[in-house]
Amino acid sequence: MNTINIVIGVSQGIGKLLFNNLALNSKCIGLTSKNNTVNKDIFYYPLSGKKKNIYWLNLKSALLKTCYNTVCVFLNSAIYDEYLSSLKQQKKILNINYFEQIILIDKIKNLLKPETFKIVILSSVEMFNENSDFPLYSLSKRMYYYYFLSKISSNEQCKLVLLGAIGTETYYKNRNNRFLNYIAKKLYIGNPFKTCKFLINISQNNTTKIYYYPWIYRFIKLYFFIRNLIVKPKIF
């Protein structure tokens, strides 16, 4: 089966590693908002700004080079709330994490018209925390997930992957305590290479499902559920 993988958000961390792993054995296109990481298979495509249509034409040209039966999109792009975010920043978060991602995914689907379309939504476990310190991030991720499910057709699958801490270079760069890093690795931090293998494996099945990685984070969602019943959600 002729398949193309599209990873949105490949500049660093798990997105970069996932793109590199997928590109070893399949056709893979990467999208990034960082201009310094662009090459023949990684395209500059910021989800904000007035020149998106120009960048779309470059991406469109690459996508139309071959006809694909299956398209799998890994949605790894999002921005987080900042402390005391201004109204302008709040609007930007919702725009990038929700509206612009809807537009981009619809463009890809309408352009390629694949027999099978899969989307793997990567999210922090904060997504289901209504009292999150990142309320707009949390809200926008839930909004996108439920929006896609409401529009899903018979030839589409949606995998939501709630990721806990993954031990990438980016993760450890801001944590200097070796002892705590060692304990965290043993208890709740996912190995980045195993995480990539897990993501690739689930992308190949034909189910719509919620996944937790590492597995211990399924209990975090239960904690959020109970807490949300007790504590009133944060107001922006």
Q: What is the CATH number of the domain that holds 216?
A: 3.40.50.720
Structure token digits, residue 111: 């352009």
Residue 201 has pLDDT above 80, yes or no: yes
**Number of compact structural domains in the chain:** 1
Tell me the whole-structure pTM to 2 decimals.
0.86
Tell me the Ramachandran region of residue 164: left when phi exceeds 0, alpha when psi lies from -120 to 50, beta otherwise: beta
User: pLDDT tens digit string along 33-80?
Assistant: 988 778 899 999 999 887 888 899 999 999 999 999 999 999 999 999
Q: How far apart are the first and last CA of the chain?
A: 46
Structure token digits, residue 118: 């899969």
pLDDT, averaged across the chain = 86
In a domain, 89, yes or no: yes
| DSSP type of residue 98 | I
Q: Residue 79 sits in which domain range? A: 3-230
Q: Cβ–Cβ contacts within 10 Å for residue 84, how many? A: 6
In a domain, 235, yes or no: no
SS3 state of residue 110 = helix
